[in-house]
Structure 1
Amino acid sequence: MTTTPPHEPPPDAAEGGVRVEVYGIRHHGPGSARAVRRALEEFRPDAVLIEGPPEADAIVDLAADPGMVPPVALLAYAPGEPPLPGDDGASGSDRRAAFWPFAEFSPEWQAVRYALDEGVAVRFCDLPAANQLVPPSPPDDHEHDHGDEREDGDEAREGIRLDPLGWLARAAGYEDAERWWDDVVEHRDGGPSPFPAIAEAMAELRERVADEPSVKGLPPGYLLREEQREAAMRRTVRRALKDGFERVAVVCGAWHVPAILAKVPAARDDQTLRGLPKAKVSMTWVPWTHGRLAERSGYGAGVRSPGWYAHLFAAPDRPVERWLTDAARILRQEDLHVSSAHVIEAVRLAEALAALRGRPLAGLDEVTEAARAVLCEGADLPVELIRRRMAVGERLGSVPDDTPMVPLQRDLADRQRRLRLAPSADARELELDLRRDLDLARSRLLHRLRLLEVDWGVPAESRGRGTFRETWTLCWRPEFDVELIEASAWGTTVAGASAARATAMAAEAESLAELTAVVERCLLADLAEALPAVMGTLADRAALDGDVAHLMDALPALVRALRYGDVRGTGTGPLRTVVDGLVVRVCVGLVPASRGLDDDAARALLGRLDRAHSALALLDDAAHTARWHTTLAALVDRDDLHGLLGGRLTRLLFDVGILTDVPDRMARAVSAGVAPARAAAWVEGFLSEGGLVLVHDDVLLRLVDGWIAALPADAFTSVLPLLRRAFGEFAAAERRAIGDRVRHLDAAPSARRGDDPIDPVRAAPATATVLRILDPEARP
């Protein structure tokens, strides 16, 4: 505990009965949280100042509400204006928001709860969020990179400023800063207060960087912003004393303790803070997750294991025994055999490891090693299960209903309650049956949120059959609150905002395919308000676009929307007119679009042909299907058609029963008079749908086998990449089946040259090569 005596009092503090205590903490530490709570109970302050944005003073009382369950976070955001159609960027232009997270084991949270429980004034004492949510000021001359003038001590001073705990850990002989801090603070319960020693250590470290510290490697404006923050902290202390508080407690990051206690004239701090740019900001509480408190999430003040720290705070007595008991319970839930004897031995091992390593308490490393060796018997997967469920311990907090929210957030919360879709930080699957009104409403809500770029639900491949089923993966992330705030520029309800967003997306779509995707999403989300404008834009764009490729790209999304609209109860009348026109125009323009194509263009058209063919099969319209098949039949006989397309069209028409002379066509396509590259492209196109046709049709298999066997050596080398690509796309089972049938084929006449019998010795290398192509696992 750091008091003003024997340290110099902060500016403007009277020497009478006024006392200012400064508690330097590390954010999110159970030992620090308990120490702060204990120190506050001993000091009995009449005002508590906490590092954080002062705009939160107006809503800090909500922390006492029973509905406020950590982890939670203060969210400051600068509301943006909605973009005009054609503007770049998402709604609200640049995102300007910042979070201040709190867990149950955060010292700041315990300080807030102490103050509210005791009826003590509580304020935040950092630089206002209004000054932080603006671009940083340009660095002064003394902040520029010293370049070649950098001295040997600069690197050390940088390390102290950026990671003071890491420097202290190394000085104490630790390579891991978190392990050192755990040993000296977090794993200790009771004993003398750690705050005087922390303040003394930080004062010493700051002395080392006081003289012209190097800033190479620091973010732009870092030093200036730190000076501004500490000036704001000192000014808040002065205001508290001026307001008549005589016992003031300050809870802040350990690095700032010497700065708060320093004798700095008020005029200097006022000068530092004068004229800072400001943004109009709003402040609220939002749910947070343990996962976002972890270092791996990118959070600057993150900890390695939020779940472990939460456990240490909740179970200060026998934490090792309780942890390993919970781990055993999790493993037993997965039908793994773990007994009480395993737990006892694991506890003994963890404590022995801690003693060997000189640690006051077994830490996460020791209990993990003990669990791996005893409970998991050396297996990695059970250890990963324990890590995921316990070490991180994903948990989503909650905020009271009367927390300030933008209307869009409140509308979503209301719909979540009505539809019984509680947000959760753990990913879970949701199966929907669109024939049920509740599931249909859930589907529409999730699709509308995706239009607002709030991907709470992500569509997954449905395991059921039929168009009336959907599968979603749901996982709530704290950032969604910021995205909802940004999306509120489009409207006050989920339905209204998503409709406005869809209309703007349709106006901004650069291609017909993008526009049709918007139409499909509108139908899935049942946005009747936006659909007329979006359909009008689509009709105008489709009428003016004469590029067959664009029309073919647009067709699948429209057909899906048309086919599934009836299942979802969505009106699709105007869409049918657009689809009818697109099909006719695609059939008319496909033949001229297929002329004179190189390999890349032919491959691109092949993909479009497949997608259009599948879309028309899904549409199941007899007139359109007949028109499409007539177009393909007219195209397949063209002499100037690329071999890849020729083979693919032959296969498509063969599958629907229109072509019956496929063996003759294949014989001509792979005959000796056809260039090997064209023949290989034809075979690749024909087999691009899969190799089952070769498994079930001996005639076609003999033709392919005979053509490959008859290829000259140089021609075989040139077409080998095409063949490998064609056969490489087959499933492993198909390749094995083809290889097995090739082994048992009788010698075909097409595989012979003249009347000479096949020489098995001369044919063996070619046979082995073909078998490897057909099935890499096959042995000749």
Structure 2
Amino acid sequence: MTLPGPPVSAVDRGEKVRVEVYGIRHHGPGSARAVRRALEEFRPDAVLIEGPPEADAIVHLAGDAGMVPPVALLAYAPGRQDAAAVSAEGSGSGERQAAFWPFAEFSPEWQAIQHALAAGVPVRFCDLPAAHQLARADEAEEGQEEGQEGQGEGSEDEEVRAIRLDPLGWLAKAAGYDDAERWWDDVVEHRHDGPSPFPAIAEAMTELRDRLAALPEESLAGHLRREEQREAHMRRTLRRTLKEGYERVAVVCGAWHVPALLRKVPATRDDQTLRGLPKAKVAMTWVPWTHGRLANRSGYGAGVRSPGWYHHLFTAGDRPVERWLTQAARVLREEDLHVSSAHVIEAVRLADALAALRGRPLAGLDEVTEATRAVLCEGAELPVELIQRRLVVGERLGAVPDETPMVPLQRDLKAEQGRLRLKASALDKELDLDLRKPTDLERSRLLHRLRLLDVDWGVPQEDFGRSKGTFRETWTLMWRPEFDVELIEASAWGTTVQGAATARAKAMAAHAEALSDLTSVAERCLLADLGGALPDVMRALGDRAALDTDVEHLMAALPPLVRALRYGDVRGTATGPLRTVVDGLVVRVCVGLPPALSGLDDDAARELLGHIDAVNGALSLLDDPGHSERWQRTLEGAVDRQGLHGLLEGRLTRLLLDAGRLPDIAARMARSVSVGAAPDRAAAWVEGFLSGGGLILVHDDDLLRLVDEWIAGLPGDAFTDVLPLLRRTFGGYAAAERRAIGERVRRLGTPRAAAGAPEDGGLDHARAERAAATALHILGWKAPA
């Protein structure tokens, strides 16, 4: 495509009034350079930009030193808690409660804003107001129109359909390209100088829209209705600006809209198009954004494939390919991969050669990636993926100044982040906390409070309840832009993080349907140190526990409460009411468990087995001798019940063995896997007994021999039936355990002497003395002579 001379003039009333329309692609470095250069040459006295007019009041903040792109304008409906964020183009499903308009440093609109603010000229947004976009539109009507549009597509020729779905793709195909993004890069984004591209862009888009105009209006009504409203408002804003006396007006908008602004449309028609639109109350602010959210893979409608590459193209003054490959080499060296200067030089030569072979004005992302893979990474894919993550996407998080409008909850969180030295980052960051340190303890409380508000800035790397260490927590921190929307929604609960989390916890307790839900809320209150919510939660928990007679519900509720008691000890929070509830639950579980063991099928037995293991682990963690004794007596009375499912009998046997309460374990296993026992019941008994770990078979030859003889003696059809159970049991063991069990089985028939033991089967005193001396030395004792 040739790029002719000066920009096109949409309006030329006399010699003084001029309006220049610059059609751009959102987030394009070449478009951004061209817009900046065109504005410097044109020197407008007013700049109009595609965006929500509600942002006019805060656009001046873009010139603040604390405003660091990528950032986004956020429009939201205050007071609605069921908000769902949508893309900058307003796409999405359901009720639209929030919308973003992102800007990167390489966005043409951002450069236009910066030029206007630096030149001291007014800058305004001219798109359809966010108040209309966030209004509760009639979704059914939209869906009906879209359905009619889809029915009409069958009568359109392929060319028109291509224009409607992907205008840039159609132009790329006409130019001989099979990739629209690559074509646009070649003709616009990769150009550092030369004539202005805007006249050619306007001409191409006019031709495309003329082809669409030839179609019957009813076939395009659903598709164009919203575009017509947006373009009508752009023209209305332009008219008002000219009416106010501005004589040199620049308009920066998407390339598709240029013909609509060049066309002369009566003001009365635009007024008719905009009449009666639904309207909602909205608020507007700036929020930090990330490069990852600018990528089209995030679902953003106006996204680009490689934000990091585009940022580099815009900021690199010269030699962008050489600088890019140098950065790639630096990334690889940081990971201790050998990359020399000679590698970089050869990679630059290869990228330039590939660009020349393909007729490209500059090596693009495809060429530098191929050169990186072939030369810097020597064909390996993992280093290429590392560069993709670090450079091509180039994840970074923007910043907004303190003067930016925020709800009180956002300001409180920002103050807490500064006080606790927790910096938000768009990259995964691991945070290890030692709860014995006051600062780390407060950090933990803040993160847990945010999780209560559904703001998962920090995600625990492990289940705290399963961890044996009580003084340490490990979190993964990563800030996402939508957290600002979630904070705005959560502000309905309070003005501070602590106050909002307290109110939310109370509401969760009041509306909890299951006892386990209440225990989870209680645990989270202790983790977050919400003393204001705990009395209400404990009151609801005590009332629900007193009325619930289902033993499985009681068993499911006990482990979280025990974990909460442990957290209370570590965190210094009062847990007296919680201990009372735990004591009552333990007694009721012990009373209700034996009757619940009867008449269970396989699925019910397996579910109850999980509850038994959880309660057993919780009581071990609680370390209360009275409760442990009561629980073990309950298991002793239940293990010999008639009709007990094999899975449960095996598991109860193992738990009692671990507690030292069953001396006749070998005889019990022999009876359970004897010839008279049904193979499926014997397999279930073995599965229950061995669940949780197979070390007992490594250290007890008698038990291992019983299991081995039982398996070896099974008939063929019975072995086929029990094989899935055995595979599930032994497949759950660690590889080292399976290997050790296999070695023990192989040596079961080997005489002890052959295995290295003394001939008489007695103790090897010489070896034992050396081991004892080593143990005494470790303990700091002196070995006897």
Same fold (TM over 0.5): yes
Report the counterpart of residue 706 of structure 2 in structure 1: 703
- Report if aligned partners of 1:97, 1:482 keep a CA contact under 8 Å in 2: yes
Report the counterpart of residue 668 of structure 1 in structure 2: 671
1:74 aligns with 2:73: yes
Amino acid at match of 2:522: V
Task: Report which stretch shifted further, 434-443 or 134-143.
Answer: 134-143
Deviation at 1:223, TM superposition (A): 2.0
Report the counterpart of residue 43 of structure 2 in structure 1: 44
Task: Report which stretch shifted further, 417-426 or 129-138.
Answer: 129-138
> In 2 relative to 1, CA 649–176 (structure 1 residues): closer, same or farther, beyond 3 Å?
same
Amino acid at match of 2:340: S
1:519 aligns with 2:522: yes
- Report if aligned partners of 2:4, 2:196 keep a CA contact under 8 Å in 1: no
Deviation at 1:156, TM superposition (A): 3.0
1:635-669 per-position Cα deviation (integer Å, ceiling 9, x unaligned) = 00112111100000000000111111100000111
1:716 aligns with 2:719: yes
> In 2 relative to 1, CA 468–252 (structure 1 residues): closer, same or farther, beyond 3 Å?
same
Distance in 1, matches of 2:96 and 2:581, equals: 38
- For 1:528-539, what aligned pairs fall within 5 Å after superposition? 528-539=531-542
- For 1:489-508, what aligned pairs fall within 5 Å after superposition? 489-508=492-511
1:549-602 per-position Cα deviation (integer Å, ceiling 9, x unaligned) = 000000110000011211011111110000000000000000001111111110
Distance in 1, matches of 2:95 and 2:533, equals: 26
Deviation at 1:715, TM superposition (A): 2.0
Amino acid at match of 1:66: A
1:707-739 per-position Cα deviation (integer Å, ceiling 9, x unaligned) = 122222222222222222222212222222222
Deviation at 1:161, TM superposition (A): 2.5
- Report if aligned partners of 1:2, 1:21 keep a CA contact under 8 Å in 2: no
Report the counterpart of residue 435 of structure 1 in structure 2: 436
Report the counterpart of residue 173 of structure 1 in structure 2: 176
Distance in 1, matches of 2:365 and 2:163, equals: 26
> In 2 relative to 1, CA 712–519 (structure 1 residues): closer, same or farther, beyond 3 Å?
same
SS at match of 1:432: strand
Distance in 2, matches of 1:150 and 1:563, equals: 64
Amino acid at match of 1:108: E
1:476 aligns with 2:475: no
1:362-418 per-position Cα deviation (integer Å, ceiling 9, x unaligned) = 011111111111111111111111111111110000000010000000000000000
SS at match of 2:99: strand
> In 2 relative to 1, CA 456–733 (structure 1 residues): closer, same or farther, beyond 3 Å?
same
1:212 aligns with 2:181: no
Q: 2:585 aligns with which of 571, 582, 586?
A: 582
Report the counterpart of residue 759 of structure 2 in structure 1: none
- For 1:240-259, what aligned pairs fall within 5 Å after superposition? 240-259=241-260
- For 1:547-558, what aligned pairs fall within 5 Å after superposition? 547-558=550-561
Task: Report which stretch shifted further, 456-465 or 613-622.
Answer: 456-465
Report the counterpart of residue 307 of structure 1 in structure 2: 308
Q: 1:613 aligns with which of 603, 611, 616?
A: 616
- Report if aligned partners of 1:65, 1:400 keep a CA contact under 8 Å in 2: yes
- Report if aligned partners of 1:136, 1:221 keep a CA contact under 8 Å in 2: no
Deviation at 1:3, TM superposition (A): 11
Report the counterpart of residue 370 of structure 1 in structure 2: 371
Report the counterpart of residue 546 of structure 1 in structure 2: 549
- For 1:403-414, what aligned pairs fall within 5 Å after superposition? 403-414=404-415
Task: Report which stretch shifted further, 160-169 or 537-546.
Answer: 160-169
Report the counterpart of residue 359 of structure 1 in structure 2: 360
Report the counterpart of residue 601 of structure 2 in structure 1: 598
- Report if aligned partners of 2:50, 2:252 keep a CA contact under 8 Å in 1: yes
> In 2 relative to 1, CA 535–272 (structure 1 residues): closer, same or farther, beyond 3 Å?
same
Report the counterpart of residue 467 of structure 1 in structure 2: 470
Task: Report which stretch shifted further, 431-440 or 161-170.
Answer: 161-170
Deviation at 1:48, TM superposition (A): 0.1
- For 1:683-694, what aligned pairs fall within 5 Å after superposition? 683-694=686-697
Amino acid at match of 1:353: L
Report the counterpart of residue 133 of structure 2 in structure 1: 132
Deviation at 1:146, TM superposition (A): 5.8
Distance in 2, matches of 1:292 and 1:499, equals: 32
Amino acid at match of 1:578: V
Distance in 2, matches of 1:4 and 1:278, equals: 40
SS at match of 2:213: coil
1:399-451 per-position Cα deviation (integer Å, ceiling 9, x unaligned) = 00010000000000000000000100010100000000000000000000000
1:11-54 per-position Cα deviation (integer Å, ceiling 9, x unaligned) = xx744521110000000011100000000011110000000000
1:344 aligns with 2:345: yes
Distance in 2, matches of 1:123 and 1:4, equals: 24
Deviation at 1:314, TM superposition (A): 0.5
1:447 aligns with 2:448: yes
Unaligned stretches of 5+ in structure 2? 83-93, 752-785
Report the counterpart of residue 733 of structure 2 in structure 1: 730
Amino acid at match of 2:19: V
> In 2 relative to 1, CA 204–650 (structure 1 residues): closer, same or farther, beyond 3 Å?
same
- Report if aligned partners of 2:459, 2:477 keep a CA contact under 8 Å in 1: yes
Report the counterpart of residue 767 of structure 1 in structure 2: none
Q: 1:640 aligns with which of 634, 639, 643?
A: 643
Task: Report which stretch shifted further, 661-670 or 73-82.
Answer: 73-82
Amino acid at match of 1:396: L
Amino acid at match of 1:255: W
SS at match of 1:145: helix
Report the counterpart of residue 335 of structure 2 in structure 1: 334
- Identical pairs, percent: 75
> In 2 relative to 1, CA 401–318 (structure 1 residues): closer, same or farther, beyond 3 Å?
same
Amino acid at match of 1:451: L
Distance in 2, matches of 1:214 and 1:175, equals: 30
Amino acid at match of 1:185: V
1:428-485 per-position Cα deviation (integer Å, ceiling 9, x unaligned) = 1000000000000000000000000000000013899620100000000000000000
1:113-164 per-position Cα deviation (integer Å, ceiling 9, x unaligned) = 0000000110000000000012444249876526776455344323313321
Distance in 1, matches of 2:468 and 2:722, equals: 41
SS at match of 2:642: coil
SS at match of 1:189: coil
- Report if aligned partners of 1:452, 1:487 keep a CA contact under 8 Å in 2: yes
Distance in 1, matches of 2:601 and 2:468, equals: 40
Task: Report which stretch shifted further, 48-57 or 676-685.
Answer: 676-685
SS at match of 2:449: helix
- Report if aligned partners of 1:290, 1:306 keep a CA contact under 8 Å in 2: yes
Distance in 2, matches of 1:513 and 1:258, equals: 61
Unaligned stretches of 5+ in structure 1? 84-92, 749-780
Distance in 2, matches of 1:278 and 1:32, equals: 33
- Report if aligned partners of 2:96, 2:134 keep a CA contact under 8 Å in 1: no
**Superposed CA RMSD:** 2.1
Report the counterpart of residue 682 of structure 1 in structure 2: 685
Deviation at 1:323, TM superposition (A): 0.7
- Report if aligned partners of 2:10, 2:261 keep a CA contact under 8 Å in 1: no
Distance in 1, matches of 2:732 and 2:145, equals: 62
1:383 aligns with 2:384: yes
Amino acid at match of 1:114: H
1:46-92 per-position Cα deviation (integer Å, ceiling 9, x unaligned) = 00000000000000000010000000000000013469xxxxxxxxx
1:665-714 per-position Cα deviation (integer Å, ceiling 9, x unaligned) = 00111112221111111111001121111111111111111112222222
Scaled by the length of structure 2, what TM-score is found? 0.91
Report the counterpart of residue 61 of structure 1 in structure 2: 60
Amino acid at match of 2:191: R
Amino acid at match of 1:72: V
- For 1:9-20, what aligned pairs fall within 5 Å after superposition? 9=11, 14-20=13-19
- Report if aligned partners of 1:144, 1:215 keep a CA contact under 8 Å in 2: no
Scaled by the length of structure 1, what TM-score is found? 0.91
SS at match of 1:209: helix
Q: How many residues align?
A: 734
Distance in 2, matches of 1:519 and 1:5, equals: 66
Amino acid at match of 1:662: I
SS at match of 2:476: strand
Report the counterpart of residue 26 of structure 2 in structure 1: 27
